[in-house]
Structure 1
Amino acid sequence: METVNETGAGSVPSGSEPVRFGTRIAVLLRDDLRPWQRLNVTAFLVSGLGSAVPEVVGEPYEDADGTAYLPMFRQPVLVFEGGGQTLTAAHGRALSRALPVAVFTADLFATGNDRDNRAAVRAVHRDRLDLVGLAVHGPRNAVDKVLKGARMHP
C-alpha cells in the first residue's frame, strides 16, 4: 500500500512518514504574464532564494551509474498568481515580516544582464516597483499570510 505525499505528487511506501516542512517556498506571479514570462520569472526568482537561504537546498543527486547532478530545493515550490494589487500587498507583508524575498519587475524584461537588472530595480522606489513576480521563504503560516488574496497557479 502507498500513500500520497504532502504535495500530492508521487507516493511514499506505506510505513514511511511523509516529510513535513515547517517552512514554505512560494512564488507569486502577476496574472497577466504570458506563458514564457511566467516560466522565466519563476526561474529567476527561485534562484535568489537558493543563494540567500542555503538551507533550502538539498544534497546533490546521483543516478545508479554514479553520474552526479546538481542539488535542488529540498521542498516543493508553490506557485501562485494574482493581480498587481495582490503582488503589491504581498510585497509589503513580506518586507514587514522580514522574510527573504526576491522581486522581478516589468523593467527586467527589457534588460539583458544582471548588472542592468539590478540597476533597473535600484532606479525605482520600493512603493513604485512594477512587480510582476516575487518569491518568498519562511515559516508556513507567515508565508500563507503574505500570500493572502493570491490563488494557486493553474
Structure 2
Amino acid sequence: MDTADQPIRFDTKIAVLLRDDLQTWQRLNVTAFLVSGLAATFPELIGEPYQDADDTLYLPMFRQPVLVFAGSKEILGAAYSRALGRGVPMAVFTSDLFSTGNDRDNRAAVRALRSASLDLVGLVVHGPRNAVDKIVKGARLHE
C-alpha cells in the first residue's frame, strides 16, 4: 500500500519554551542554541539532506516540527520541574549565558548554580507527545 500521501504523525514532540520578556534577538538566539542540543544528542531526529531541482545540496533538518512556546518565568520554572520529574531530556538556557561567548563559559555558568537558582530564559524538551504537552502546560504558542 502506497502511503506517500498519508499524513505523518510523530509519536514524539519537540517543544521550545521561551520566557515571554525576551527581546526578539534573544528569542532567536536561545531557540537556535537549545535545538542544537537535540540535534547533537538525538541524530534520529534529523531527516535526509535537501536537494533542489538544480541538484544543489542543502543540510538536513529536523524531520518533525519544532513547536515554540512562550511563558512567564513561573511557567518556565513549572515546566522545568515537570520535565525533571518525568525524566524527559532537556536543554536549558539561562540569563547568564547572554554574557558569555563560548561553550566552555556557558557550561561553567550553568555549573556554578544549583538547579533551583538557575534563571531560566528558555528550555527545550523532546519526548512522548503527551508528556511534552503536560510539561509545557500553561504556555502559549509563540507568536
- Normalising by the smaller structure, the TM-score range is over 0.9
| Partner residue, 1:121 | 110
Partner of 1:101: 90
Task: Choose which of 121, 137, 141 in structure 2 pairs with 1:148.
Answer: 137
Q: Secondary structure at the match of 1:21?
A: coil
- Are 2:53 and 1:70 equivalent residues in the alignment? no
Residue deviations 1:62-92 (CA, integer Å, cap 9, x gap): 1222222111000110000000111011011
- The correspondence for 1:79, drawn from 60, 68, 93, is 68
Q: Report the Cα distance in structure 1 between the residues aligned to 2:87 and 2:60, rounded to whole angstroms.
A: 26
Q: Which residue of 2 aligns with 1:43?
A: 32
Provide the secondary structure at the position in 2 that maps to 1:96: helix
Amino acid at match of 1:91: Y
Q: Pairwise CA RMSD of aligned residues?
A: 1.0
Give the alignment partner of residue 44 of structure 2, picking from 26, 50, 55.
55
Structure 2 unaligned spans of 5+: none
Where does residue 134 of structure 1 map in the other structure?
123
Q: What secondary structure does 1:104 align onto?
A: strand
TM-score (normalised: structure 2): 0.95
Count of residue pairs the alignment pairs up: 140
Which structure is higher in RCO with an 8 Å CA cutoff and minimum separation 6? 2
Kindly provide the CA deviation profile for residues 91-121 of structure 1, in whole angstroms up to 9, marking residues without a partner as x: 1111111111010000000001111000000
SS in 2 for 1:46: helix
Cα displacement (A) at 1:35: 0.5
Give 4+ residue runs of structure 1 displaced > 3 Å after superposition: none
Matches within 5 A, 1:6-45: 16-45=5-34
SS across alignment from 2:68: strand
Once residues 102 and 21 of structure 1 are traced to their aligned partners in structure 2, the CA distance between those partners, rounded to angstroms, is 21
TM-score by length of 1: 0.88
